[in-house]
Chain A
Amino acid sequence: MHLDFSPEDLAFQQEVRAFIAENYPVELRGKQDEGDELSKEDFLSWHKVLAKKGWVAPAWPVEYGGTGWSATQRYIWSEETARADCIRLMPFGLSMVGPVIYTFGTPEQKAKYLPRILSGEDWWCQGYSEPGSGSDLASLRTKAVRDGDHYVVNGQKTWTTMAQHADWGFFLVRTDPDAKQQEGISFLLIDMKTPGITVRPIITLGGEHEVNEVWLEDVRVPVENRVYEENKGWTCAKFLLAHERTGIAGVAASKRGVEKVKSIARAEMDGDKPLISNAFFKRKIAELEMDLTALEFTELRSLAGESAGKGPGPESSLLKIKGSEIQQRLTELTLEAVGHYGAPYFRGFGEGDNEHPIGPDYAHRAAPTYFNTRKTTIYGGSNEIQRNIIAKMVLGL
């Protein structure tokens, strides 16, 4: 047991650093610095660079396009990408449906979908939540009725992140209305261009268009698009949620976030001293670093367990709870740090607009990000649901 990097690991770290420095899209860096909203092409630009290099899905098994990196190399990768402030890749294909397909899919499904997820050709979205089914996901009512070699799907999904860009969606649908809740659900892959699908934006508190409502009216889906057995979709859903939870800790990104807060607190003045010298503010940063370190080592212990053959289990709920709380505290501290300039509502630059925005650059996104980040303790199974999972699955209550 030790924390040292081997000479090979150090060489890998150098390789990763150099690769990012040479290949991270310049336009993307510029937009991040300005606090602009990112387009589909922006998100895909970094994805495609990584796909070309073969580094887009480190966690996947090598046979499907993974990198075969050791746990240490994966750790280095996430540290370095966060250090360089690289954008997070969209998780819907790479971290969610991809693992479901290579775990539960048919050879045909694997051959058809996995390469297109890796290349970035298909943008995926997640059709899970419904207006009446949030935390109680298994009560979902979107139904799929068999009609020959098709399912006919009717219903409404909501909180569908980035569905406005999506080529494909993976949907939980009810195929047996008479079975017990969790036993009548199937997992369908749906082409978002299929007639009968309507995507409507939902604007969230930070002013972003991130999530959507998705309406499905007599949408015909080939039976071959079902992953795993009919009425066994809940197995895929649970598997996916556990996978979703592990990445959700966001340790490396939060470390980067702490550094940003510190630099703001060194720049902002509080009386005749920088804000970071304020004992109360300083203590909040220290406490955040303390909790983040505890999270980091909890994740490392969990990763070590995984590489010893234990898959991501219910204890990943712990990572979700602490990770999301820390992300929120970071945005809260940032907003506190920027003082007055948290208030101006900054919409980003319009085309041809060269007026200088109000307040320091680091303040522009402080409030919207704070508002937006309230989502982290709600999505992916609210933190209350995570506590239920720990109580039931870990503690046997």
Chain B
Amino acid sequence: MDFSYTETQDMLRDTLARFLADTYDFETRKKMLLRPEGRDPGVWKALATELGILGAPFAEEHGGLGGGALENMIMMEELGKVIAIEPYLQTVVIGGGALKRAPAAMADAVIPEIIAGNAVIAFAYAEPQGRYDLANLRTTAKADGGGYVLSGHKAVVYAAPWATHLLVTARTGGSQREREGAELFLIDATLPGIVRRDYPTVDGFQASEIYFENVAIPGDAHIPGGIGLIELLADEATVAICGEACGVSRKLHEGTLDYIKQRKQFGQPIGKFQVLQHRMADMFVEVEQIASMALMGTLKLDLAADERKAAVSLAKAKVARSINFVGQNAIQTHGGIGITVELAIGHYFKRGTMIENQFGSADFHLGRFEDLTLAA
């Protein structure tokens, strides 16, 4: 057992933190959101070329830095501290995660493109009727000659408007909620028959509803692994956003702490009032537990599937509850100014709130944990 970061990991964190401090202040971020594409693609390119850190979790043979889930956690935490709208989760964590388990030809072709900052991947897994059940799929991939034909509707696909590739879950057989038959495909985002309806999300990203209208895809777009692989990728994504939640919640707490030290009422800084001091202490306790659970989930990703799922679900359930508490109390403690768009705090609150249910709510994950461990 060892709880220390390597020097390389510390360096990764410092490099990214310094870069984001210079490029991602609140005002700059606001301007990014107002651009037609809803982001500044130069930032992503800089992460790839200037900093060379998009390869952090990839093997050296692909040009990566040889890291893994911990590196992703570190990156996500730092990105969370500036509520970055970069597609790191979708492209590197999820897309990269799929590619690491993909046939060599696909991995060799696409991973270097991610590391170079050329490829952006969006994860088209959710469907309007499916809620958090990854196997609840109406989208079909019907075998057709050497390839497949994709048909269906994917919901709220974060980063899809920016994507060069789509990582799609679709059914090659079986009924709507059956585990058997759920499969994963990585396809070119510009194939004929892919129709997108793009929109901004409440937390500053861009997303799409995607309609596959008999899209012909090649046979080698298939990444074997079925529902087991899809669940693994979702679990990796889940702990990654727990890491992001850690960054987001630290800033929610820090911003509120600064505020109550300078905001005066009744002739004194409101931070002098014990009722607010205890609230800040409780928020601190929740933030630390978010950090602990992000780490716990990350360190347990390697376990056998059921143990991994149980651990990830506990992590996400706790993070969802805790960031809800931290976010709501950050706004309440700011008072009226907290519910305006003027201060950064509200924007952290919005991202934190979306994290609560992304990849499954607290209730969903507690239910999954119970099914796995609390049988009669």
Contact = CB atoms under 8 A, between A and B. Distances in A.
B13 to A, nearest CB: 13
Interface stretch (B103-111, B166-174, B295-303): B295-303
B327 to A, nearest CB: 17
A301 B295 contact: yes
B51 interface: no
Given A3-B299, A266-B376, A298 B280 contact: no
Interface in A239-285: 262, 266, 273-274, 276-277, 282-283, 285
B250 to A, nearest CB: 13
B325 to A, nearest CB: 13
Interface in B188-214: none
Interface residues of B, number: 42
Given A1-B3, A297-B293, A300-B3, A262 B374 contact: yes
A75 interface: yes
B366 A9 contact: no
Contacts of B295: 1, 297, 301
Interface string B225-261: 0000000000000000000000000000000010011
A172 interface: no
Contacts of B288: 298, 315, 318
Given A276-B374, A293-B296, A294-B293, A397 B271 contact: yes
B277 A289 contact: no
B176 interface: no
B292 A391 contact: no
B317 interface: yes
A86 interface: no
B318 A75 contact: no
A296 B375 CA distance: 23
B101 interface: no
User: Which 10 A-B residue pairings sit nearest by Cβ, starting from the closest?
Assistant: A304-B3, A297-B292, A391-B277, A387-B281, A390-B281, A294-B289, A72-B1, A298-B292, A297-B296, A387-B278
Interface of B: 1-6, 9, 70, 257, 260-261, 271-272, 274, 277-278, 280-282, 284-285, 288-289, 291-293, 295-296, 299-300, 311, 314-315, 317-318, 366, 369-370, 373-376
10 contacts: A3-B1, A283-B366, A286-B366, A290-B369, A293-B314, A295-B292, A300-B3, A303-B3, A304-B4, A392-B277
Given A282-B374, A301-B3, A304-B4, 20 more contacts: A2-B2, A9-B1, A276-B375, A287-B317, A293-B296, A293-B318, A298-B289, A303-B3, A322-B289, A384-B278, A386-B281, A387-B278, A388-B277, A390-B280, A391-B274, A395-B280, A395-B284, A396-B261, A397-B272, A397-B277
